[in-house]
Amino acid sequence: MADPATYRPQTGEIPTNPGVYRFRDPHGRVIYVGKAKNLRSRLNSYFANPAGLLPKTHAMVYTASSVEWTVVGSELESLQLEYTWIKEFKPRFNVVFRDDKTYPYLALTMSEKLPRVQVMRGDRRKGTRYFGPYTAGAIRETMDTLLRVFPVRSCSSGVLKRAQASGRPCLLGYIDKCSAPCVGRVTPEEHRALAEDFCAFMGGEAKRFISKLEKQMGEAVATLDYEQAARLRDDISALRKVFERNAVVLGEDTDADVFALHEDELEAAVQVFHVRGGRVRGQRGWVVEKVEDSTTPDLVEHLLQQVYGDDGDSHGRLPREVLVPVAPSNVAELTEWLGGLRGAKVDIRVPQRGDKASLMSTVRENAEHALKLHKTRRAGDLTVRSQALQELQEALDLPVPLLRIECFDVSHVQGTNVVASMVVVEDGLPKKSDYRKFSVTGEAASDDTAAMHDVLTRRFRYYLQDKSAQVEAAALAGHQAAVDAAADAAVLDNTTAAPRAKFAYPPNLVVVDGGQPQVNAAARALAELGIDDVYVVGLAKRLEEVWLPDSDFPVILPRTSQGLYLLQRIRDEAHRFAITFHRQKRGKAMTLSALDGVPGLGESKRKALVAHFGSLKNVKAATAEELAAAKGIGPSLAGAIVAHFSAAEATGESVPAINMTTGEIIET
């Protein structure tokens, strides 16, 4: 843990201009990005009395080892630069608004060639239009009703491919709930037009479609086509049923996003109603951990910055009005920025009275209920995580906070197909993008301790190589200051971070699945590489004992300890990840193809070859010229394949069997 006094800049060195600042940790990672009207005043507030800061800010200041800043010409430029850097670096201590995933949304995948309508939860995907949220029952009824009028594809990709291959539509195509583009009933362009009409209806243009159908119904009656008129009547009834679910809350010419929030000392819940044409067309929610001495105006500013900077179109477009509970910081600059994104004027206002203020009150009630629900479901998750990390640090007598923990596990069956896993936890939460898998072969696969030593050696050798490469990059750049910093902490430069390699950051703690032998093997691997600032423990399954290197007795954590629960969750996740990889590898080893013996024909080319001809039988029957027409198969490789099958046929050889336990080939 760094002492803020060791990297505090001199007061006279800090400019008084507006700008953006960044805190970095000892490994060069940007952990916080902020902006200030007066850089000197803002940065001095972090160092004047660090003990008086809020817990998260205190942790950030003591985790960091350096601070740097960039002066800009105006507050608008600082707003834009802060947003850009938050998106680029994803600092762990910045406010991050997470989407509320409680309710399902009606979504259309407009980025696909044949757009699909479906019910979706979770993170939003680029190129997909969302409408809602709805309750679980209402959304199915809404989708089923609209498919009568807008028969957009709702089947999965697998069903679509099977229909295209067989030339027959699925059940929805037969009952007219799908226009069946899979079999050519409509062209892709006509199907996309249906999807766009679906979006337009859900986006607020319901009256236009209802009027159009009423006109068509009148024309059908005039021509005595009563069957068509009856179908149109039913379609109109269906559209009105969906349309009337959205009550008018404001004037019909009102397009606005209404934000409200409810906060306590640690967290804040935000809700937004998207009003289009005076009707509530959608709702979104976020919960955020407050990690700085942020005021409500600061939270509102960060909220608008992230919401409109991320997708810029709340269900179709950025509205004319943005209604907020309090005026955000830098409201003039924020208004100018949003106007640039929309291409027209955007008005940020705080409603004081009337219908808009009443709607704001309703949104605020939703935010209050959302925060209560969040806290109930997570049961003090933030507090529990902090308690677990603190308990673990104290029980193991470690001098550094456990910001990053890596856990390793080895998996095999009787010494075959040996693999290992690495799972990562940062701030008590899994970071799946940093999970890694290892294949263990040769002498290292002889036993669990050898495998653990090999995996730890490889993982931290990659880290040292990355660190050395960063030092060399800084030296080549000719920045002596960066060279000095990189030699100690692997920092690249002080303006823009280069892309990080996959093993660039070391953990504070390494956890291995096993007892004293595995722990000693891991500690020996680190010692051989000269790494002495990473601590190692092992968690033995039988009695859940925590072992330290070269210790005759384990550390016994109480059964109710949050620290023990955290170790168990990490260990179990590493075991799950390892055994999943082992099963995949074992499954591949148990599968033998008649093409395996062809020199130069790898796995990807074998798959491409079988996909091209449809079956192995067709591959065997193909000539060299036909084989060469397949993707990735040249004339020489095609000749080798023909020769391989000819030799097998001449000698009467067949595909050998496989021992299902060891994966070894049994000669027949």
For residue range 149-186, list pLDDT tens digits in order: 888 998 888 888 888 888 888 888 888 889 999 988 99
Total residue length of the chain: 668
Name the DSSP class of 153. Answer: B
Phi-psi region of 417 (alpha: psi -120 to 50; beta: other; left: phi over 0): left
Q: In the predicted model, what is the mean pLDDT of residues 357-370? A: 82
Higher pLDDT, 473 or 306: 306
Domain ranges, ordered by start, for the chain: 4-94, 105-203, 256-378, 388-461+504-588, 603-666
Same fold, 256-378 and 388-461+504-588: yes
Half-sphere exposure of 514 (CA within 13 A, CB side): 24
CA dihedral over 130, 131, 134, 140, signed as positive or negative: negative
Q: Contact 93/60 with Cβ under 8 angstroms?
A: yes
Measuring CA to CA, which residue among 34, 150, 48 is closest to residue 94? 34
Name the DSSP letter for residue 263: E
Q: What average pLDDT does range 257-266 have in this prediction? A: 82
Stretch 237-257: mean pLDDT: 66
Q: How would you write 410-471 as a 3-class SS string? A: EEEECCEEEEEEEEEEECCEECHHHCEEEECCHHHHCCHHHHHHHHHHHHHHHHHHHHHHHH
> What pLDDT, on the 0 to 100 scale, is given for residue 187?
92
Angle between helices 55-63 and 39-47 (to 10 degrees): 100
Could you please report the per-residue DSSP string of 274-325? EEETTEEEEEEEEEEE--SS--HHHHHHHHHHHHHHHTS-GGGS--SEEE-S
Q: Is the model's pLDDT at 43 over the cut of 60? A: yes
Whether 140 and 104 have beta carbons less than 8 Å apart is answered as no
CA distances from 199 to 101, 203, 277, 458 (A): 22, 6, 15, 52
E strands, 51-116, where? 66-71, 98-99, 105-108
With both helix axes pointing from N to C terminus, report the angle between 448-477 and 516-528 in degrees, rounded to the nearest 10: 30
Q: What is the DSSP letter of 167?
A: T
Pairing of strands 416-426, 404-413: antiparallel
pLDDT for residue 282: 67
The highest-level CATH class for domain 388-461+504-588 is alpha beta
Reduced to 3 states (helix: H, G, I; strand: E, B; else coil), residue 105 is strand
661, pLDDT greater than 60: no
Round to whole Å and give the CA distance between 363 and 368: 9
Give me the mean pLDDT over the 385-408 stretch: 84
Residue 250 is predicted with a pLDDT of 62
At the top level of CATH, which class does the domain 256-378 belong to?
Answer: alpha beta
For the cut 90, the answer to whether the pLDDT of residue 395 exceeds it is no
Confidence of residue 539 (pLDDT cuts 50, 70, 90): confident
Query: What is the per-residue pLDDT for 511?
Result: 92
**Percentage above 90 pLDDT, the chain:** 5
Give the pLDDT of residue 445.
Answer: 78
Residues near 313 by Cβ (< 8 Å), separated by ≥ 6?
none
Mean pLDDT (the chain, rounded) = 78
Cis preceding-peptide flag for 55 (omega within 30 of 0): no
494 pLDDT exceeds 50?
no
pLDDT digit string, tens, across residues 269-316:
888 888 777 766 667 788 877 655 678 888 888 888 878 876 544 444
pLDDT > 80? residue 141: no
* Cα 539 to Cα 14: distance, rounded to the nearest angstrom: 48
Quick: pLDDT tens for 174-218: 888 899 999 889 999 999 999 988 888 777 676 777 888 888 888
The whole-angstrom separation of Cα 522 and Cα 47 is 39
Could you count the other beta carbons within 10 Å of the beta carbon of residue 654? 9
Q: Max Cα separation, the chain?
A: 96
Q: What pLDDT does 495 receive?
A: 39
Average pLDDT, integer, range 642-657: 63
Task: Evaluate if residue 491 carries a pLDDT over 70.
Answer: no
User: What pLDDT is attached to residue 242?
Assistant: 66
Q: Report in angstroms the alpha-carbon separations of 50 from 15, 47, 64, 91.
A: 21, 6, 12, 20
Beta-carbon contacts of residue 177 (< 8 Å; ≥ 6 apart) = 144, 147, 148, 151, 154
Two structure tokens written together for 527: 């010692």
- pLDDT on residue 662: 40
CATH number of 4-94: 3.40.1440.10
What's the CATH code, domain 603-666? 1.10.150.20
Which pLDDT does position 423 carry in this prediction? 92
* Closest C-alpha among 247, 248, 236 to residue 208: 236
Q: Which residue has the tokens 């669990």?
A: 448
Question: What is the per-residue pLDDT for 310?
Answer: 61
Indicate if the pLDDT at residue 407 is higher than 90. Answer: yes
pLDDT of res. 262: 87
pLDDT higher for 577 or 144? 577
What is the mean pLDDT of the segment spanning 479-487? 51
